[in-house]
Structure 1
Amino acid sequence: MMTSMVTGFQGQPPQGHLSGYPFVAGRENVVACAKHFVGDGGTRNGVNEGDTVSSYDELERTHMAPYLDCIAQGVCTIMASYSSWNGTKLHSSRFLLTEILKEKLGFKGFIISDSEALDRLSSPHGSNYQQSVLSAITAGIDMVMVPLRYQLFLADLLHLVESGKIPITRIDDAVVRILRVKFAAGLFEHPLSDSSLLGRVRCEQHKQLAREAVRKSLVLLKNGPDSTKPFLPLDRNAKRILVVGKHADDLGYQCGGWTATWEGKSGRITTGTTILEAIREVVGAKTEVIYEENPSESINRRDYSFAIVVVGEAPYVESGGDSLDLKIHFNGAELASSVADQVPTLVILISGRPLAIDPQLLNKAHALVAAWLPGSEGTGVVDVIFGDHGFQGRLPMTWFKDVAQLPMQAESNSYDPLFPVGYGLTTSGSNDAPARAL
């Protein structure tokens, strides 16, 4: 996946391209960054910026493998991780950054720090800053992301070089690597981006591609009490449809973190279509769609054909997403369960990861869909639940029964998931292209 993104950004290197050297195909391509090197996905208890405790062989086999492909495809930059390996911060590990990444793996681009990472090398953050600069640059960091204290950084770096604590050969190595990437990207010939490409941003072709990605990524976890009585697809000409939940009409929640703001936020953060808006666009002319974020009265009396309850997580990034219970936010599970007690209900989960699903909710819901974070194109969700396209997504990870089971390994003898990795029910869609003969 990471390698595909690298070639998507930079372009496909030609036959005979030397592995390790940076490559950018042309002005319509951009420099890619593979991150975060290395092992940040294996920290103890999954703690952000935590410590990955492992042998080198395990680190190489499990966590370093994706970088080999990226380096072979000419990735221009690699970002070091905030995390540690066996107690040593990655940003100060000369062994991993220089001896392994640069020398053993042959990476010829430049290593960039994470934002304010040097501040995190000391406790409390930001203390003993000159020593942090010395440690990171000596370890092999070539470019430093310093959003605030850049004047102090420059002064400390200059002092360390002039005093001989950082050898000029280390500076030369960094400069050569940075210049190599700039030459590969054509920045000296064309220092500014091509403004004629601006019209492609959020163009119709890109929106349609995003919509397609949404519908293909949805995972159908439950569809009716059994395979003989499917609940989906829904009837777009139903008399009255109830739509419930904060996530049904919130573009910010669909997008999650790292979007309009760092942590993400609620509301209309960009142009796009919410799931509620998409439902209203596709239902029949005589169908009544009623939206209640939190139904305040008994809904049995309204004679609803069915309900669509959209619940999930609030946006988060990094440590803001750490959770010991992985519960659905805003009492979403209780809300979905209450609605399902009264009306046949489809539950749609908006989340960046598997969440805790109460067995009672799973039993009550007529259908359950993992929609992940569909972003701006909520229409992609509606394409599938109303049957224009079929469900085809599969779980890329195990869905646990209880957080006490985490971490889960599919090869373990005690493996007992709610839904196993690779699980996903399928349906056929009226607009799906017929299978082509090979």
Structure 2
Amino acid sequence: MKNTASFITLSIALLGVAGCLQNTDNQANASNQIWPKLPSVVPKDPAIEEKVAALVGSMTLEQKVAQMIQPEIRDVSVEDMRRYGFGSYLNGGGAFPNNDKHATPADWITLAEQMYQASMDDSLDGISIPTMWGTDAVHGHNNVIGATLFPHNIGLGAANNPKLIEQIAAITAREVMVTGIDWVFAPTVAVVRDDRWGRSYEGYSEDPEIVGKYAAAIVSGLQGRPGDEFLADNRVISTVKHFVGDGGTVDGDDQGNNIDSEQDLFKIHAQGYVQGLGAGAQSVMASFNSWHGEKIHGNKYLLTDVLKQQMGFDGFVVGDWNGHGQVAGCSNESCSQSINAGLDIFMVPTKAWKPLLENTIAQVKSGEISEARINDAVSRILRVKFRAGLFNKPSPANRSLSGKTELIGHPEHRAVARQAVRESLVLLKNNRQLLPLSPNLNVLVAGDGADNIGKQSGGWTITWQGTGNQNEDFPGGSSIYDGIKQVVSQNGGNVQLSVDGSYQAKPDVAIVVFGEDPYAEGNGDLDNLDYQRGDAKDLALLQKLRAQGISVVSVFITGRPLWVNPELNASDAFVVAWLLGSEGNGVADVLFRKANGDINHDFKGKLSFSWPASPDDAQLNVNDSDYAPLFAYGYGLTYQDDVQLDTLSENASLQSTKQQSLAIMHGSVKSPWSLSLYVDGKTLAMDSNTASLNSLNVRTTDRYIQEDSREITFKNRNVAKVQIGHAFPNDMRQYSELGSTLTFDIKLNSKLQASTKVGVNCDASCSQGIALTNLLSEEDLGVWKTVSIATNCFTQDTDNMAKVYSPFAIASRGPLSITLSNILFNNNSDETEPYTCDK
């Protein structure tokens, strides 16, 4: 029987091998039929190839793997670089030299120079290979104070001007080079198919044609064209991202699953790669998403068979923020599957870089990863470094543009950004041809976006989420109000700024600027497109002004098309400004006539995303068989159009308006709240990735995705508090019904303190705290635990919850370290048994 069983097992195994071989052959045939063989616009240089081969042949395994590790500046030191010689490093969104949001260009250059010199120092690692610094300069050099910020991609898509886009990319490259950085993680070439996706604004269009044109333009602007300033001293290495299918996940779920056919994956989602690689892009970033359930970071067919072999890409593939850790069987600290699949560089923020380095070395020694695959990856990295001249260029502090800080936010750069603002604006409504306005009117400028450069710029603006910024953080920039004030004041008119729409003298017209608050990535995911569902404060402002007989011009700041039928009805004119960056004065250029009555600048922008007719129209794309938008792809009025928009239906048509939960912190702290630190009567708002006040420290950290949690450290016996709150109260009675809970995830990093309490603060009697010792025990040390507290623990009267200033606060007389994530008010209390205060 034993021999029979062995025979059966062997037969099954052989059949499995045959099946795998057949499947591999089928996939290879599919790639040949669907994916193109791209002509090489950057042919291999025999001299470079000889240098690469010689250098790889001289390197130890440890040196090779170090080239494949990309740590982040918050978790790697100059001495680490000297010891290991990493091939590259990055600053994530919201990371700055010295953890200083207001780091100067000189600070950036200093860090670049220190890291470079450490990489060239062979005293510890035995080799001198220049490192590369990569950064997310996705709408200008957006991490640096004072840089020129251009409209986000969705606005540039509406402009549909590839020549302008190439110019924008070239300017971005110059400003990046000023700070000594070599490599930019752009362009994003996602084709967005579901506007609920929190990264919709990173896409140029729902139409692959525009995305393809723009990919070529951005790559050419960043890198230069092959044969014409290609990777010259004023150019950077570009990255087309995220390969592939990130804009087509089910339900628009960030990092979710794309289930398109392979033909559609190519036809819809790969056109940016066809043209971006065709323009000579030297790096590709793998995507977080899955394709039919398999994470791209571990998909050998797509990364190797398709991208490298069939399409002929000879640069390197870099991962996205610990994306390898999401591959089945992997962790942030170990993932041979990704390397074997074709990933060349691990992007590994946090301290996971060291065990990942050690585990990868061990996996090569054990044969789990072949040394040939390592040699291929390192050869690709070195090839790009040689092509970019990194072995021959001076060190970062001594390059031709380095330190020329006058280029950061240069007037000529800002003029191009201002042009991009003008060309990106889309006019949806202009009843009675109210626009353009005479510049000598009495103008009321209202709305919370009117004088708010951070809001008009959106996510990926200084901080990762684009939150916590003030106008003072944008020296040289202008708000939309700034531009209006300048035009009207210069032409004998009068301007009143009033966020809430109040005024001293009745205006001739009100320009109301409102829209989405900044967000990035999954923090912007929605479940439908109803703007301000359940809290239509902007609509109330529009209706108030209209009821007073004032003509209303709405300027809508948004990262995607949203259902705004009520707001459209309450407006005489409606302009979509998208996320326009630092040059808000470009809006006034279009809204107002010249002094002599002539049109100054007409509207040029056309919708590159279809506009929804209902909140459920998230998957609404041109050429769909059931295509029924409110405004079709390509729509956009000009001043020559006399189109009257009739009253629209305001029936949201949602099955249920009752919200079952309210996120307080999910990834980011949700609007309208912000996180603040309180110690000894002092207060500090957290407007960066770290905040410290005396004995209290808070920093963002990663649990599932980038910066989705907050690590809080109470350092000594002083009373300290971390509070998520707002200056004005919020009505949360619908979340304080019988059985509702305050729910959050917590990890205890140190021993419990009896003094630590969790609370909710409102203007009545709901400030009593619940001791953390009632919720956790010492057995919970080091593990994540979901805690639910019945709302009536904080107040016996649900009416007290009508004015909640802080839905979550935690105070301690330390020392204590905890990590928090996923804080919400929950009307579904079935999932976790709540603490009810009677135990």
How far is 1:339 from its partner? 2.1
Contact 2:427–2:576 under 8 Å retained in 1: yes
Is residue 187 of structure 2 the alignment partner of residue 7 of structure 1? Answer: no
Aligned with 2:474 (options 265, 270, 286): 270
How far is 1:260 from its partner? 0.4
Q: C-alpha separation between the residues in 1 aligned to 2:428 and 2:331?
A: 51
Contact 1:347–1:368 under 8 Å retained in 2: yes
How far is 1:311 from its partner? 0.5
Q: C-alpha separation between the residues in 2 aligned to 1:414 and 1:58?
A: 18
- Matched AA of 2:466: G
| Runs of 4+ with >6 A deviation | none
- Once the two structures are superposed, the pairs formed by residues 81-230 of structure 1 within 5 Å of their partners are 81-121=287-327, 128-129=331-332, 132-148=334-350, 149-190=352-393, 191-192=395-396, 193-194=399-400, 195=402, 197-224=404-431, 229-230=432-433
Contact 2:231–2:237 under 8 Å retained in 1: no
Aligned to 2:123: none
- Once the two structures are superposed, the pairs formed by residues 348-367 of structure 1 within 5 Å of their partners are 348-358=555-565, 360-367=566-573
Q: Which moved more, 1:342-351 or 1:403-412?
A: 403-412
How far is 1:92 from its partner? 0.3
- Matched AA of 1:263: Q
**Percentage of pairs with the same residue:** 38
Contact 1:341–1:364 under 8 Å retained in 2: no
Aligned to 1:260: 462
Q: C-alpha separation between the residues in 2 aligned to 1:156 and 1:251?
A: 45
Contact 1:392–1:427 under 8 Å retained in 2: no
CA deviations on 1:131-182 (whole Å, 9 max, x unpaired) are x511111111101111211111111111111111111001000110001000
Seen in structure 2, the aligned counterparts of structure 1 residues 221 and 4 have a Cα distance that, compared at 3 Å, is same
CA deviations on 1:284-320 (whole Å, 9 max, x unpaired) are 4543311211136xx6x84210100001000011111
CA deviations on 1:236-279 (whole Å, 9 max, x unpaired) are 111x2111110001110011001100000142232210011111
Is residue 606 of structure 2 the alignment partner of residue 399 of structure 1? Answer: no
**Bigger Cα Rg:** 2
Seen in structure 2, the aligned counterparts of structure 1 residues 9 and 184 have a Cα distance that, compared at 3 Å, is same
Aligned with 1:241 (options 437, 443, 449): 443
Aligned to 1:411: 623
Please state whether the residue corresponding to 1:208 is helix, strand or coil.
helix
- Matched AA of 1:292: S
Aligned with 2:284 (options 54, 78, 103): 78
Count residues with an aligned counterpart.
408
Is residue 524 of structure 2 the alignment partner of residue 318 of structure 1? Answer: no
How far is 1:47 from its partner? 0.9
Q: C-alpha separation between the residues in 1 aligned to 2:590 and 2:283?
A: 38
CA deviations on 1:68-122 (whole Å, 9 max, x unpaired) are 1222221110000000000000000011001110101100000000012123335
Structure number having the greater strand percentage: 2
- Matched AA of 2:610: T
Aligned to 1:36: 242
Is residue 512 of structure 2 the alignment partner of residue 306 of structure 1? Answer: no
- Matched AA of 1:189: N
Please state whether the residue corresponding to 1:249 is helix, strand or coil.
coil
Is residue 485 of structure 2 the alignment partner of residue 280 of structure 1? Answer: yes
- Once the two structures are superposed, the pairs formed by residues 327-406 of structure 1 within 5 Å of their partners are 327-329=530-532, 331-342=537-548, 343-358=550-565, 360-387=566-593, 388-406=600-618
Please state whether the residue corresponding to 1:349 is helix, strand or coil.
strand
Q: C-alpha separation between the residues in 1 aligned to 2:528 and 2:271?
A: 31
Q: C-alpha separation between the residues in 2 aligned to 1:413 and 1:7?
A: 35
Contact 2:529–2:618 under 8 Å retained in 1: no
Please state whether the residue corresponding to 1:114 is helix, strand or coil.
coil
Seen in structure 2, the aligned counterparts of structure 1 residues 49 and 39 have a Cα distance that, compared at 3 Å, is same
- Matched AA of 1:313: E
Contact 1:24–1:31 under 8 Å retained in 2: no
How far is 1:393 from its partner? 0.9
Aligned with 1:59 (options 265, 268, 274): 265
- Matched AA of 2:426: V
Seen in structure 2, the aligned counterparts of structure 1 residues 64 and 7 have a Cα distance that, compared at 3 Å, is same
Aligned to 1:424: 636
How far is 1:235 from its partner? 1.7
Contact 2:466–2:518 under 8 Å retained in 1: yes
- Matched AA of 1:315: P
Q: C-alpha separation between the residues in 1 aligned to 2:436 and 2:583?
A: 19
RMSD over aligned CA atoms reads 1.9
